[in-house]
């Protein structure tokens, strides 16, 4: 079954939000035609309806938040916060953004500080992962890093491949934490441009951008079969490197 097109109010609100244009959403009672509504209530009544209408950003935010419950899985709630980040950041002023943050926190049952960190690109889950892995961090070999870059570039250029990566389980084997986090957020529906901006260090972000540009110039289709080839290659390379890595010495008592 194909995906239904977005309703007109949603699509118009998304266009307004992308252009940072203030807009409001007026939903006629019982789906009444706007022309008929205007003729029925006359201009004065119509102006009153406009004053009571909903700002377009609030309309979009409400639709996104309505899709997940406060008792949903943590991963689902985290994806929702990342998905609405662009809407919150498009708010016209700091006070409106604070109100949106409060709304998100209450609706999803998440602490406000955690919501703010996620919106700022400092996800709690990411910080926890990085903190836990830091003591045992190992340099990522050039061969593994190259394959991981190609995989991330592929899911950026071909959105339909994100499900293939997510279902493969290979993402948990990524040795580059920044690329693993970026791929996880992209598979979760986060805005690609924002995710790329968060990749650190700068040299890795530049390599990712250069790879995307090269893939664009090369043209052609990076299909699921080709992606699975790289996923298999990644698993094999990581397994080989782990096998060759010397075991830590256990001190004698």
Q: 127-154 pLDDT, tens per residue?
A: 444 434 434 446 888 999 999 999 999 9
pLDDT of residue 146: 93
Q: Does residue 215 contact residue 153 with C-beta atoms inside 8 Å? A: yes
CA distances from 70 to 40, 74, 83, 189 (A): 41, 9, 16, 19
Count CA atoms within 13 Å of residue 108 on its CB side: 28
The DSSP 8-state label assigned to residue 71 in this structure reads T
Give 50-90 pLDDT, tens digit per residue: 666 667 777 788 888 888 887 888 888 888 888 888 878 77
Identify the band that residue 172 occupies on the pLDDT scale cut at 50, 70 and 90.
Answer: confident
pLDDT of residue 46: 56
pLDDT of residue 136: 44
In whole angstroms, give the CA distance from residue 183 to residue 170: 11
In whole angstroms, give the CA distance from residue 177 to residue 78: 18
In whole angstroms, give the CA distance from residue 21 to residue 23: 6
pLDDT at 194 over 50: yes
The residue extents of the domains of the chain are: 16-55, 56-133, 138-244
In whole angstroms, give the CA distance from residue 157 to residue 222: 8
Can you tell me whether residue 172 is helix, strand or coil? helix
In whole angstroms, give the CA distance from residue 9 to residue 15: 10
pLDDT of residue 38: 67
Query: Encoding tokens for residue 155?
Result: 């899911």
Widest CA span in the chain: 91
Q: Does residue 2 contact residue 42 with C-beta atoms inside 8 Å? A: no
pLDDT of residue 49: 60
pLDDT at 252 over 60: no
- What's the mean pLDDT when you consider all of the chain? 77
Strand partners, 25: 54
pLDDT of residue 134: 38
Give 86-129 pLDDT, tens digit per residue: 878 777 778 888 888 888 888 888 888 888 888 776 554 444 44
Q: By C-alpha distance, which of 246, 180, 227 is closest to 208?
A: 180
More confident position, 22 or 181: 181
In whole angstroms, give the CA distance from residue 237 to residue 65: 41
Identify the band that residue 160 occupies on the pLDDT scale cut at 50, 70 and 90.
Answer: very high
Identify the band that residue 249 occupies on the pLDDT scale cut at 50, 70 and 90.
Answer: low
Q: Does residue 128 contact residue 155 with C-beta atoms inside 8 Å? A: no
pLDDT of residue 207: 92
């Amino acid at each position: 079954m194909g995906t239904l097109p977005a309703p007109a109010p949603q699509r118009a609100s998304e266009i307004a939000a992308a252009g940072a244009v203030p807009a409001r959403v007026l939903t006629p009672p019982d789906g009444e035609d706007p022309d008929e509504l205007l003729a029925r209530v006359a201009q004065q009544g119509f102006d009153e309806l406009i004053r009571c209408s909903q700002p377009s950003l609030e309309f979009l935010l409400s639709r996104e938040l309505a899709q997940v419950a406060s008792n949903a899985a943590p991963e689902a709630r985290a994806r929702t916060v990342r998905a609405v980040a662009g809407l919150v950041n498009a708010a016209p002023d700091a006070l409106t953004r604070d109100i949106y943050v409060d709304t998100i926190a209450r609706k999803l049952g998440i602490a406000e500080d955690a919501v703010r960190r996620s919106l700022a690109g400092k996800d709690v889950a990411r910080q926890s992962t990085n903190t836990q892995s830091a003591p045992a961090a190992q340099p990522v070999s050039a061969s593994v890093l190259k394959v991981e870059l190609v995989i991330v570039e592929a899911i950026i250029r071909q959105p339909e491949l994100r499900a293939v990566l997510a279902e493969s389980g290979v993402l948990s084997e990524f040795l580059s934490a920044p690329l693993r986090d970026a791929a996880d957020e992209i598979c979760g529906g986060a805005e690609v441009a924002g995710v790329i901006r968060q990749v650190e260090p700068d040299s890795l972000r530049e390599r990712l951008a250069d790879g995307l540009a090269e893939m664009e110039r090369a043209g052609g289709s990076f299909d699921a079969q080709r992606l699975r080839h790289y996923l298999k290659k990644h698993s094999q390379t990581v397994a080989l490197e782990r096998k060759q890595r010397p075991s830590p010495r256990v001190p004698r008592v």
